[in-house]
Chain A
Amino acid sequence: MTKLNVNGNAVEVDIDPETPLLWVLRDSLGLTGTKFGCGMALCGACTVHLAGEPVRSCQVPIGSVGDKPVTTIEGLSKDRSHPVQQAWIEHDVPQCGYCQSGQIMSASALLESKPRPTDADIDAAMAGNICRCGTYQRIRAAIRRAAEIKRG
């Protein structure tokens, strides 16, 4: 049994400890908002927060998580009220939407460390998240807007 803290809930899963966190979230815990895109930390679709840091969950064996809290898109807010989610809605960022959970998790982690991100900060924080629909321009604008909302 592996114990995990996911979105504030203590859970136990009976599965091989080398299983990537991504697949435990999706298949064991039913948290399918976190997506599989590449399996090699190249696309960012599986980004979640591990103790507040953005990580590619396809590369995190559950045995290595320990008591660090995991936050997924489902745990970011209960009602789409996180500033990043609000800004994403305002700018109608998603198209196919498949990458957006990962984009939002990367963006929300960025704003925790950099409340006033520069273009270079945004490039650095978001370069690991591929969007095949090419919503980058809106993502950039929405991050700026989210920063405003967050600052109040």
Chain B
Amino acid sequence: MSANLQLTRRQVIGGLVIAIALPGCKPSHKSSGAVTTLAPNAWLRIGSDDSITFFCDRAEMGQGVYTALPMLVAEELGVGLERIKVEFAPPGDEYINNLIGGQITGGSTSIRDAWEKLRKAGATARHLLVSAAAEEWGVDARSCRVADGVILSPQLKKLKFGEVVDAAAKLPLPKDVPLKDPSKFTLVGKAQRRKDTPAKVDGSAVYGIDVKLPGMVYAALAQPPALGGSVKTFDDEKARAMPGFIATVLTSSGVAVVADTWWRARKARDELKIDWEAGPNASLNDAKIAQTLRKGAEGEGRVARHDGDAAAAIKGAARVVRAEYELPLLAHATLEPQNCTADVRADGADIYVPTQVQQIAQAAAAKAAGLDPKQVKIHTTFLGGGFGRRLEVDFIPAAVEASKAVKKPVKLIWTREDDMTHDAYRPPAFDQATGAFDDKGNLIAWNLHLTGPSITARMFPSVTEKMVDPFAVEAAANYPYDVPNVHVDFKQQEIGINVGYWRSVSHALNCYVAESFMDELAVSAKKSPYEFRKALLQKQPRFLKVLDLAFKESHFNAPLRGHYHGLAVMEGYGTYMAQVADISLAEGKVKVHRIYCVADCGMQVNPDTVVAQIESSVIFGLSALMWGEINIQNGRVQQTNFDGYKVARMTDAPRIDAYVIDSTEAPGGIGEPATALVAPAVCNAIYTGTGRRIRSLPLTRHRLS
């Protein structure tokens, strides 16, 4: 962790915190050869050759920032999106995500963080360019306008951006530039083709695994088979005799074998004889983890929500309903296995890495190289999937240490087996829910007692020193239903292995529990799942809107013959969402035919990406629901590849109908929320079809998938 990543309560859970930090008070001006460049802020470079470069400070992992972020800039700058060339930004404090407190791509924050910041960046540049042109013409800048990268005077004289960059660079930075009213947007909110699509259909997009440097060699890594283990001794005699062998390097993550091709490095790695120290998890297994969580659940956790007096209301209630829910460990399984290319020299290092955390990557690489972070350059590539896996930097040090040892650029690639068995897994959970009704059948109390390990306690310990882990109580602390007595608490219970942020984080755990249990309460109240929720959401207009549209579009009360419908709603990342699952059961197995997903994510930047992210999230949630489970025996992960860890394929993919509400509300996140509603919607449909309440996942545990 670098020191500047200090999360504050306000940054983590507050609203949009805007702090535009423009370095210095004058735009910088650089000349390289004949082309001079205007640098009005950290994101934009405008060249005298009329080029416009945008530094994308978030990782492109499929969610579309490579297109949506330059759209925000282009809107205010007054140019077409095709005019902007996108490059990935280096680490830098000016790129800190104000919603998280570091240069981090995660938490579905990219648009929310950039919404004003990048429009301001574009507007500032436009102001400078227009002012420079107006000065040249001797007219009032306010009388000039910009059309597609050309500045026009009232007399329709024209100057290209490139023609005024030198003059613009001499002007002081404006303090406050007005932004367009959203009703005047011409680009934002209109579907644009993704800028990265062409390179992703002809094989030219460069991912971390594709990096090639002059003189580069390759490494494969032998990591401890038991999580938390270490190398006692190793014998590399056989490996040394293998073709292409260059070196073995004992790294902080295991034994790396370096060779002239990756395949040879891997073959040589398999010839290593390593005596492993099994470490603290030598006897860890699934049953022990489950037992640890159940034991941990005894007693109070830290309080996340406390309205009224739920305990007293439950005690005096006419009817009490209780249920326990369990969730498994999950792997991220990005399709691009973890990898890192390091070029370490005595005076500095270049690190090419698919990462969601440029600053943390820089700190980790610097530490491994024995260099100052300032001497380490991080080059972010395209990411072959992120899903939270690349918030971790565990794959960086070994590459750095190997490069340092062999004094050459080294590309280290994990095998799929390395990746599957050395993840920071999604935390398991053991959760206890209690609901209570009065004698008139009104729901008067809701109590949710969550137990599980805390990711945040490891990643951002300063946060959990002060407060309940905010990322553990998502979709729980914000319980939306109008119930007078609500109590939600989180009991942190570690299990011995690292857990990590996984797409939609605790929304996927807690929405499953809360929305399944709401269905249980509806059954207990003898009301339909829709009417029961609707009655308790009367003070929540945005919820009502998505709930009603999902109800209507899915013909909720009239499924096809032999089909069953289930419903779930959630607010997460500032986005309101409802999903209806349409399923059938053939020979006792669940088939998900269709998912209706309605979202109110406020104002949108690229509407087609919003839909794409809903589609993507639904499939991601479906994989976890149907088959997702990591098992541990003797501290070793039992799943090693996509045979044991099954994920959704074309044949499993339901039809997905996404409906996005036209909204003038502030933008919400869309990369994750739809992931979380699939499990409760499908499980509620299973109840309708079979009368079986599914209180643990995945469905393979119940022989339903």
Please tell me if B535 contacts chain A, counting CB pairs below 8 Å: no
In the complex, what residues of A have CB within 8 A of residue B334's CB? 96, 98, 132
Given contacts A23-B262, A94-B194, is CB(A132)–CB(B203) below 8 Å?
no
Among B212, B333, B612, B642, the residue within 8 A (CB) of A138 is B612
5 pairs, CB–CB < 8 Å, chain A vs chain B? A16-B264, A73-B202, A98-B335, A132-B333, A137-B655
- Does A2 reach chain B (CB closer than 8 Å)? no
Tell which of A72, A85, A104, A130 touches B642, judged by Cβ atoms closer than 8 Å: A130
Does B53 make an interface contact (CB < 8 A)? no
Which B residues, 608 to 641, have Cβ-Cβ distances below 8 Å to chain A?
608, 612, 615-620, 622, 641
Quick check: B62 and A97 within 8 Å, CB to CB?
Answer: yes
**Interface residue ranges of A85-122 to B (CB < 8 Å):** 85, 88-89, 92-101, 104, 122
A52 to B364, CA, bound (A): 46
Asked if A19 is an interface residue, CB under 8 A from chain B, the answer is yes
The chain B residue sitting closest to A94, CB to CB, is B200
How many chain A residues sit at the interface, stated as a range, is 35 or more
Q: Kindly state whether residue A55 has any CB partner on chain B within 8 Å.
A: no
Q: Which among B243, B262, B337, B622 is the interface contact of A37 at CB below 8 angstroms?
A: B337
CB distance from A150 to the nearest CB of B (A): 16
Cα–Cα distance between A107 and B193 once the two chains are bound (Å): 22
The digit string for A42-59, where 1 denotes a CB below 8 A from any CB of B, is 110100000000000000
Known: A40-B641, A74-B202, A97-B199. 14 other contacts (CB 8 A): A27-B218, A39-B416, A89-B197, A92-B193, A92-B608, A95-B62, A97-B196, A97-B205, A126-B649, A133-B62, A133-B385, A133-B616, A134-B617, A134-B619
A100 CA / B198 CA spacing, docked (Å): 11
Contact code string B213-248 (vs A, CB < 8 Å = 1, else 0): 000001000000000000000000000000100000
Give the residue of A20, A43, A127 whose beta carbon is less than 8 angstroms from that of B651: A127
Counting CB contacts under 8 A, is A5 at the interface? no
- Asked if B203 and A74 sit within 8 Å, CB to CB, the answer is yes
| Chain B residues whose C-beta falls within 8 Å of the C-beta of A32 in the assembled complex | 203, 206, 209-210, 212
Known: A130-B647, A137-B656. A80 touches B196 (CB 8 A): no
Q: Are A89 and B193 in contact (CB under 8 A)?
A: yes
Q: When chains A and B are docked, how far (Å) is the Cα of A30 from the Cα of B417?
A: 25
Find out whether the CB atom of A100 lies under 8 angstroms from the CB atom of B201.
Answer: yes
* Binary contact track B388-427/A, C-beta < 8 Å → 1, others 0: 0000000000000000000000000101110000000000
A81 nearest CB neighbor, chain B only? B202
A35 near B201: Cβ-Cβ < 8 Å: no
Choose one: B207, B261, B335, B622; the contact of A28 (CB below 8 Å): B261
Considering the complex, give the chain B residue whose CB is closest to the CB of A30: B212
A88 CB to closest chain B CB, in angstroms? 5
Complex alpha-carbon distance, A97 and B416, angstroms: 18
Q: Tell me if B668 is interfacial: C-beta within 8 Å of chain A.
A: no
With contacts A89-B197, A92-B193 taken as known, whether A99 is within 8 angstroms of B203 at the C-beta atoms is no
Asked whether B203 lies within 8 Å of A33 as measured between CB atoms, the reply is yes
- Specify which of B197, B608, B650 is in contact with A140 (CB 8 Å cutoff): B650
* Residues A92 and B194 in contact, CB atoms below 8 Å apart: yes
A89 vs B650: C-alpha distance when bound (angstroms) = 19
Query: Do A130 and B193 touch across chains, with their CB atoms under 8 A apart?
Result: no
Known contacts A27-B263, A96-B61, A127-B651; decide if A40 and B203 are in contact (CB<8 Å).
no
* Contact between chains at B641 and A33 (CB < 8 Å): no
Contact of A40 among B197, B416, B653 (CB under 8 A): B416
Report Cα–Cα, A101/B203, bound state, in Å.
6
| Residue of B193, B413, B647 contacting most chain A CB atoms (<10 Å) | B647
CB pair A98 B207 closer than 8 Å? yes
Assuming the A-B contacts A95-B616, A134-B619, A137-B656, are A38 and B202 also in contact, with contact meaning beta carbons closer than 8 angstroms in the complex? no
Q: Is the CB of B207 within 8 A of A136?
A: no
Nearest 9 interchain pairs by C-beta: A33-B203, A134-B619, A98-B384, A95-B62, A97-B200, A96-B62, A136-B653, A73-B203, A94-B200
- Closest beta carbon of chain A to B543's beta carbon, Å: 26
Q: Is B341 an interface residue (CB 8 A)?
A: no
**Contact residue range for chain B?**
35 or more
Contacts A92-B608, A130-B335; is A43 near B642 (CB within 8 Å)? yes
Residues of A within 8 A of B446 (CB): none
Contacts of B61 in A (CB 8 A): 96
In chain B, what residue has the closest Cβ to A101? B203
A29 to chain B, nearest CB (A): 11
Using CB atoms, name the residue of chain B closest to A124.
B651
Q: Let me know if B63 is at the binding interface, CB within 8 A.
A: yes
Please measure, in the bound complex, the distance between the C-alpha atom of A15 and the C-alpha atom of B193, giving whole angstroms. 42
Please give the residue numbers on chain B whose beta carbons come within 8 Å of chain A beta carbons, in ascending order.
60-64, 193-194, 196-207, 209-210, 212, 218, 243, 261-264, 333-337, 382-387, 413, 415-417, 608, 612, 615-620, 622, 641-643, 647-651, 653, 655-656
- A132 with B204, Cβ < 8 A, contacts A96-B335, A97-B382 known: no
The answer to whether A27 and B261 have CB atoms under 8 Å apart is yes
Chain B residues lying within 8 Å of A19, measured Cβ to Cβ, are 261, 263
Give Cα distance in the complex from A96 to B612, angstroms: 11
- Select one of B200, B261, B333 contacting A100, CB under 8 A: B200
Query: What residues of chain A lie closer than 8 Å to B383, measured between beta carbons?
Result: 96
Residue contact B335 to A45, C-beta cutoff 8 Å? yes
CA distance A130 to B336 in the complex (A): 11
* Cα-based distance from A123 to B197 in the complex (angstroms): 24
Given contacts A94-B201, A98-B336, A98-B384, contact A134 B653 (CB under 8 A): yes
Nearest B residue to A88 via CB reads B201
Chain B residues near A93: list those with CB within 8 A.
Answer: 197, 201
Q: Inside 8 A of A135's CB, which chain B residues have their CB?
A: 612, 615-616
Q: Which residue of chain A has the shortest Cβ distance to B606 in the bound complex?
A: A92
Q: How far, in angstroms, from A60 to B651 measured CA to CA in the complex? A: 26
Interface centre among A23, A36, A129, A139 (most CB of B within 10 A): A36
Distance to closest chain A CB from B270 (angstroms): 12
**Which residue, of A19, A72, A96, A122, has the highest number of chain B Cβ atoms within 10 A?**
A96
List residues of chain B with CB within 8 A of the CB of A28. Answer: 261
| Contact yes or no, B197 A92, CB < 8 A | yes
Min CB distance A79 to B, Å, is 8
Residue numbers in B under 8 Å from A38 (CB-CB):
416, 641-642
Choose among A20, A27, A76, A137 the residue with the greatest number of B CB atoms under 10 Å from its CB: A137
A residues within 8 A CB of B336?
35, 37, 96, 98
Complex interface: chain A residues within 8 A of B207 (CB):
35, 98
Pick from B197, B209, B615: contact of A134, CB under 8 Å: B615
Nearest CB of B to A141, in Å:
11
User: CB of A31 within 8 A of chain B?
Assistant: yes
C-alpha gap A76/B204 in the complex (Å): 13
Q: Which residue on chain B has the smallest CB distance to residue A86?
A: B201
Residue of A nearest to B649 (CB): A127
Residues in A whose Cβ lies below 8 Å from that of B204:
33, 74
Find the A residue at minimum CB distance from B622.
A134
**Contact B619 A34, beta carbon cutoff 8 Å:** no
* CB nearest to A120 among chain B residues: B651
**Shortest CB–CB separation between residue A118 and chain B, in angstroms?**
13
Q: In the complex, are the beta carbons of B616 and A42 less than 8 A apart?
A: no
Instruction: Tell me, in angstroms, the Cα distance from A139 to B413 when the chains sit together.
Output: 28
Task: From B197, B198, B264, B335, name the one whose CB has the most chain A CB atoms within 10 angstroms.
Answer: B335
Which residues of chain A have C-beta atoms less than 8 A from B416's C-beta?
Answer: 37-40, 43
Q: Which residues of B contact A33 (CB under 8 A)?
A: 202-204
Q: A123 and B650: CB pair below 8 A?
A: yes
